[in-house]
Amino acid sequence: MLTKRIIACMDVRDGQVVKGVQFQQLRHAGDPAELARRYNVEGIDEVVVLDITATLETRQALARTIHAVAREIFLPLTVGGGIRSEDDAAAAIDAGADKVSLNTAALRNPALITALARRYGSQAVIVAIDAKRRTDPAAGGGDYAVFVRSGTSDAARDAAEWAREAESRGAGEILLTSMDRDGTRSGFDCGMTRAVADAVNIPVIASGGAGGLEHFAEVFTDGCADAALAASIFHYADTSVTELKKYLREQGIPVRIC
């Protein structure tokens, strides 16, 4: 049976892993290659490296960081942050990424999704959606508003509707981050995850809000997520991947235990 995936995300700035709360207040969390090595031993299923300054500072994902991480782990590796063109994607993939994650660039230029899917296959193209609940959904635009440019700008799109378009353009997976929950450790936004999972036929990775073991169980059952991504709880070793997977298996959720 296909297992639910646990993904560790490393937000990287200047070659170091950092983590903030609701996209702000960044603090250092360690060396990417060292963290990747630990996650691999603990049984993480995938690793995502996000160059978080890339979008704002017009910087390409750090090839050196990707290379250092890719040398440590033989697991699927996704790179995101500042991938705006086929050339940016090619640079990440040549450095050792298996998948690239597109965010702002996909909304600005959806044809990029299709171009990359043709060149590398849909399995290599993740569309990342940063979204938050609309305070007044009755005003239109759907229940969940999509934000771009590292969460600074409202794209005036509904998350489920955009996910569906991304799939039709060739995306292989959706990485859905709840901006309301990011870094708060108050649990994933299961309602939003489910709304997007119901809208598409490709895997949905839930992100934002992981705090306790039970949050993962909730997002796999109530949220219908195919994978769950977390950062800070793994970085600071509050929760080990081993412990999390043991818990999920006890809850009857299929996970890879190695």
Partner 1 sequence: MIALIDYGAGNLTSVRKALTALDAEYMTPSSPDELHGVTGVIVPGVGHFAATAALEGGWRDAIHASTERGTPLLGICVGMQWLFEGSEEAPEVRGLGALQGRVRRLKGDAARRMKIPHVGWNALDLPRPSTLLAGLESGAYVYFTHSYAAPVTDDCIGATTHVEPFAAAVERKNVFGVQFHPEKSSDAGLQILRNFLGIAR
State both tokens at 184.
């708060």
Out of 8, 9, 75, 128, the residue judged to bind partner 1 by CB under 8 A: 75
Q: How far apart are the first and last CA of the chain?
A: 15
Is 63 a binding residue for partner 1 by CB under 8 A? The answer is no
122-130, 137-145, 158-166, 230-238 -> range binding partner 1 (CB under 8 A): 122-130
Closest by CA position to 30, among listed 237, 178, 246: 237
Helix (H, G, I), strand (E, B) or coil at 128: strand
Which of residues 18 and 241 has its CB atom nearest to partner 1 in the complex?
241
Contact 36, 78 (CB under 8 A): no
Which of residues 23 and 120 has its CB atom nearest to partner 1 in the complex?
120
- Please report, as residue ranges, which positions from 4 to 33 form the binding site for partner 1 (by CB under 8 A): 4-5
Q: Which helix (H) or strand (E) holds 43?
A: none
Collect all residues with Cβ–Cβ distance below 8 Å to 92 and sequence separation of at least 6: 61, 63, 66, 79, 83, 100
Which of residues 145 and 160 has its CB atom nearest to partner 1 in the complex?
160
Catalytic residues: 11, 130
The residues binding partner 1 (CB under 8 A) are 1-5, 40, 45, 70-71, 73-76, 93-96, 98, 120-124, 172-173, 197, 201-203, 224, 226-227, 256, 258
